[in-house]
Structures are given as structure tokens and as C-alpha cells.
Structure 1
């Protein structure tokens, strides 16, 4: 099966305190990390992670474009106000547990949510117009289950973000079915395949493509996932064997879309960079990885 996609491999985020002295030389200023990531490390894509925590602005997006060469592509994670903070009420958190939405109270209405989507769209559309936006990553929380209301919410999201490629990551098992993929295909929404710990309610790796962008995110396989700090959760280094086991899935996906992203999210102490480089070697020189005939 030919891998005819333009395969872009990079990391989820590029600026972490624990990458200093590991990925980046200690004397490189954080404002130059992205320049170093693209020029010295030689990556041609990155998933912008900060946009989940801080709403992106036009000046930020312009700076990102200026710091990277013309062929460099970004995928941009949607701000949490578009994926996580969309319910009317949150249950108070028990000590040591995350606050959970009061699902019965339902999603906020479109008029209330629309300004955040507009603000995000206005910031990233110049990137899309410049041909530098691969796709917008919409990562939904574990309590975003497959319901008619939530499917309508996905369509509203699409309508509020016109002219942008959208790719969706689910974190609840209820979406793990063929009908979900058919729905995404029909509505021109992309599916994000994930490699993550095989724990209750998390999804297995399904090498599906539902739009013209194929997307694989590698979260690591740390069994200490729920209730763990972000640092602990993503502390995992894939072995070469584990990555090689994913090659058939990667080939399947790369044969189904003109553009594919493989993004490593095991960001702890730069492990994502090492595994992204491992994957580059395997996909750029696949003949070295095939069993000898």
C-alpha cells in the first residue's frame, strides 16, 4: 500500500520548561524555541498546544508564521472555551478530583458560546489563508459522550469555524463505533486516531480517516493516566518495537488522505522529540524497517 500522503511529524507543543538543557541548549531563549525547533531540529510541523490554555491572537499567529519557514505547517488546538467549558454548570470537585459538568444542565446555547469561536477564528484564519494551517484540533473531554445533543454541538462548531479544516479527538468509548466515523465523513469533519493507555473508557487506536487530513496523536501508554498530573501522565517513552507496531496503521491512514500529521504528546523531558525522530526514520526510510524477504 503506497503512503502517498505528505506526512508531517512533530510534537504537541514545543515550549516546556523541562525541555531546557534536554531539547534546547540552555543558552537559547524561549522566544527562539520555535525557530530552533524548525531550523535546527528540522521539524516541518508542530501542534500548537498553548492555544488550548490561552486564546490565540493575531499578533501571536503572525509571530509563529515569521519564526518558521514557508513550508512549515501548524495544527492548532482549539481553546478550552470551545471544547471543555461549554456546559452550564459544573459539579463541585471532590478533593483531588477534577470538577465534572452537571450533564443534566446541558450545553450552553450557541449565542453564549459564539464569541469565543469568533475570537479563535479571527486569530487563525490568517494562518489558514497563508496556507500554513494543517487543521484545528478539537479535543473533547471524557464527559463529552455520543448523544444527539453533542452531535448537534459538533455541527454548530463546524458552522462557527467556516473555511477551517477541523479534526476531532474523542475521549469517551461511546464514540468508538463505525457510525461515528460515518457521521464525521458525512459532515466533513476529521477523525483523530489516538495511541493511549488501554484504560477504562479511553479509545483504542483506530486508523480511520474521515476528511482530507489524517491525524495520529501519540499520548504514551502510561497506566497512571486518570488523576495523574500532566507531567506524570505524559511521562512515557515508546520503544522502537512499539512504534514499529504502529506502522501498518500509519500506512493505512497515509493511503487515505493527501496530508497526514503524526504528533507525539509524551512531552515529559523531551521524550516526544526522540519518538518523533524515531518515527521520521521509520516513515522516511521504510525499506530499512521491512522484514527481509
Structure 2
């Protein structure tokens, strides 16, 4: 049986004060408190800016030795545009993002064994950006080939028709995971597994993102569950029971926008996985 780690997407939500974090706790103490319950977390802040050495040293200092901290590649690398649409001429081009890439990897190396997979979270690409996946896959292939092997990597795709053999072949070639996502307009991985083997390396990475607009129509404060996602979580639990034995490590993260409160969502999913394990 592979290792099963679960946590949330980010730990810094101010809405968790008095619910997940003790009332009055300084935000600087949040990560240490978080790490008392969960063994992994996904750093969302790195998408918006390259973390400083001081920031990553703080993460290292506040977490135990067996903690796993995953992070997203900076937006300047995977999006490369200041506007809403990504810049297809610059994204994943080392000549353009080289400084940010080098600084990002150097900072994350401070974590040593605590550093989990680093995630390339790509936006949806319309036909004004890429008319078809081939040029993107060629660039991704080259980019992954140039990354240092001391880290592990994952790729999140938001074009559902790109979830096909050519993409999976590129990822397998570079021991990179296809990030499995629960996102409104993306197919559930379970619907694809009959025709495609979505496990492209020796670890599995799952992100429960959900329907942002639907949740925000119910709340703008993320301190409680506002949407019943029980059936979806049960389906994920069944899928995880299938994939965990096939991987050395499975990491699963819940976003506040999945149901309203990330910590409760991921606790519920973990309980379902353990319940199913007891029945197997």
C-alpha cells in the first residue's frame, strides 16, 4: 500500500481564524499549527510571486521533518502574460522566464526532503493561444527535459480534449504526474480511466477545486461547508482506493471553493478512504 497524504490548498485563509486556528493566533503561527494535523500542504502563494529564501526558510522552520510542502510554479512561467490571456510566445520559454525559474527552484531547494512535487498549473488555452496541443506539447517536452531531476513535478491541464495519449507520453518520459483535478468543466478522472491510464509516474497528485462561482454564490467567507459534496467525495474515495496501491505516494488537496471549507472537505475525504479501506 502506498503512502496517502492529504491537506489543503494553502493554509493562510483568514476565514479559518476561530474555526481551524485558535482565535487570536498570529498568522505567522498558522503553518506550525496546521502541521500538527496535516502532513502536507500546497503553497498557493508561489503562483503569484517567486518566494524569497527567507519565506521558504520560515516554512522549513515551522514544519516537522516528515512534512511535505508542495508548490506551484510562478505565474510568470506557466502563464507569462500580465493580461487575462496567457502569452503563448513566452510561456515555458527559458530565455524569458529563466531568472524566475532559477530563483524559484533555488528557493524551494531549501526544503530538502520536505519539498514535494512542484506543479505547473496551466490555464485554459483557447484557440487564440494554441490552435491545437502539438506546439504546447513540444514546448512542454523541452521544458521538462531541462528541469533538474532533484525535484518531482506535476502538470495540471485545463483543456479537456488535451487529456489524451500524446500528453501522457510526454509526462511519462519525464517521470511527471498528470494532476488529477475536480473542476467544473473538466471530466472526472474516473470517466477517463477506462480508456486512458492517467497515472504517469510513481506518485499521484489530486486537487479538489470544484465550482468557484457556485460556492461564491453561497458564501464569501470560507469557514464552513456550504455545499453538499458527499457524492463527489465518495466517488473520489473509490478512485483513490484503486490508485493508492499503484503509487508510492498519493497527495490530495482540497480547495475552499470545493465545498466552502478546505479542512472539513479533506477530513471527510480521508475518512471515506479509510472507511473503504476497512471494507476491502
Bin of the TM-score, shorter chain as denominator length? 0.7 to 0.9
How far 1:284 moved relative to its partner? 3.2
Structure 2 residue 96 is the aligned partner of structure 1 residue 112:
yes
Residues in 1 aligned to 2:228 and 2:3: alpha-carbon distance in whole angstroms: 23
Q: Which of 229, 239, 249 is 1:249 aligned to?
A: 239
**Aligned positions of 1:59-98 closer than 5 A:** 59-85=54-80
Output one character per residue of 1:118-152: Cα deviation in whole Å (capped at 9) or x when no partner.
Answer: 1111101222xx21112001100101755232123
**Higher mean Cα deviation, 209-218 or 159-168?**
159-168
Cα gap change, 1:118 to 1:274, in 2 (>3 Å): same
Asked if structure 2 preserves the Cα contact closer than 8 Å seen for 1:168 and 1:192, the reply is: yes
Q: How many residues align?
A: 266
Matched, 1:149 2:135: yes
Distance in 2 (CA, whole Å) between partners of 1:241 and 1:196 is 15
Q: Counterpart of 2:48? A: 53
Q: Give the secondary structure class of the aligned counterpart of 1:135.
A: strand
Quote the residue 1:93 is aligned against: none
Cα deviation, 1:86-124, whole Å, max 9, x if unaligned, reads: x5x85xxxxxxxx22465x56574312211111111101
User: For each residue in 1:164-186, what CA deviation from the matched residue of structure 2 results, as whole angstroms up to 9, or x when unmatched?
Assistant: 10101001123122332232112
Show CA shifts across 1:215-270 (max 9, x none): 11101245649x99x9599x864533321122221122212210110100135896
Cα 1:284–1:187 change in 2 (3 A) is: same
What is aligned with 2:208?
218
Gaps of 5+ in 2: none
SS in 2 for 1:117: helix
Which one of the candidate residues 26, 30, 35 is aligned to 1:33? 30
Instruction: Write out aligned runs for 1:149-168 (5 A).
Output: 149-162=135-148, 163-168=150-155
TM superposition shift of 1:31: 0.2
TM-score by length of 2: 0.83
1:140 aligns with 2:122: yes
Contact 1:13/1:46, CA 8 A, preserved across alignment: yes
Tell me: CA distance 1:31–1:114, structure 2 relative to 1, closer, same or farther (3 Å). Answer: same
The equivalent of 1:11 in structure 2 is 8
Aligned to 2:85: 100
SS in 2 for 1:218: strand
Measured at CA, do residues 14 and 258 of structure 1 come closer, stay the same or move farther in structure 2, by a change above 3 Å? same
- Cα distance change, pair 277–78 in 1 and its aligned pair in 2 (3 A): same
The alpha-carbon distance between structure 1 residues 22 and 190, as it changes in their structure 2 partners (threshold 3 A), is: same
